[in-house]
Amino acid sequence: MDTADATVRAATDPLTFRTATEADVDGLVALVESAYRGDASRAGWTTEADILDGQRTDPEGVAEVVGAENGRMMIVERNGELIACCQLEHRGDHTYFGMFAVRPALQGGGLGKVIIAEAERFARAEWGAKEMHMTVISAREELIAWYERRGYARTGRMTPFPYGEERFGVPRRADLEFELLIKPLD
């Protein structure tokens, strides 16, 4: 088998979904950082490198999500290799979806659609969630449009970006805020 055949096979190998453990924290931090910050993130389309410097998350923040009683950090692997993740937090009648990251070189190929569909299925089946909620930086119009194509609606409900808290990044703009997006999980 030549390299091209191996690449095609690898892209079609089945995905494995599992709940993260403490042992996954460092790999998750590296994945999230690579998808959103710095030059490595520019290989994909979800980069925030033009609007934020600094870190996207840290080991303490990821460990908190991994250890949360009312949630889970979903890991997505292919052939035992971490390629994506997302946070799911059970909040009564809805689930919060966050910390969604796909390895930059794998973005744009439909993987994100599969992962978000599995996250929605899990929230509905395991927690009886009626809606999925997420917050997205309102300046990320292309990303919001992607979520809208998946059935999420803009609410116009904004929360401020945590300026001055470098744990979440160093803004390059003064107009950043988060918008709540909601999708019914009928």
Q: Is pLDDT at 154 greater than 50 in this prediction?
A: yes
CA distance 71 to 133: 14
Residue 9 confidence (pLDDT) = 42
pTM: 0.87
CA distance 80 to 14: 10
Residue 3 confidence (pLDDT) = 36
How far CA 139 is from CA of 26, 32, 51, 107, 167, in Å, comes to 29, 19, 9, 20, 20
Would you say domain 10-184 falls under CATH 3.50.50.60?
no
Residue 43 confidence (pLDDT) = 66
For the chain, give the mean pLDDT.
Answer: 89
Per DSSP, the three-state class of 132 is strand
CA distance 19 to 64: 14
Per DSSP, the three-state class of 94 is strand
Residue 2 confidence (pLDDT) = 39
For the ranges 5-14, 150-159, 171-180, the lowest mean pLDDT is seen at: 5-14
What are the residue ranges spanned by the domains of the chain?
Answer: 10-184
Mean pLDDT calculated for residue range 41-49: 70
Mean pLDDT calculated for residue range 165-180: 89
* pLDDT tens track for 68-120: 999 999 999 999 999 999 999 999 999 999 999 999 999 989 999 999 999 99
Residue 155 confidence (pLDDT) = 98
pLDDT greater at residue 66 or residue 1: 66
